[in-house]
Amino acid sequence: MKTEYRLFLGVAAFLFVTAVVYWFWSGAALPQYDWIGTTALTLSGLLCLMCGGYFWFVSRRIEPRPEDRLDGDIAEGAGEIGFFSPGSYWPFGIALAALIASLGLVFWMWWLIAVGIIATVVTASALLFEYYTGTRRTAEH
pLDDT above 90: residue 31: no
CB count within 10 Å of CB 55 equals 19
**DSSP class per residue in 85-103:** -S--SHHHHHHHHHHHHHH
- Residues 86-123 pLDDT 10s: 788 899 999 999 999 999 999 999 999 999 999 999 99
Check residues 131 and 133 and name the one with the higher pLDDT.
131
Average pLDDT over residues 63-77: 80
CA distance 19 to 37: 8
Q: pTM of the predicted model, to two decimals?
A: 0.58
Is the pLDDT at 85 greater than 80? The verdict is no
CB-CB neighbours of 120 under 10 Å: 19
pLDDT of 140 strictly over 60: no
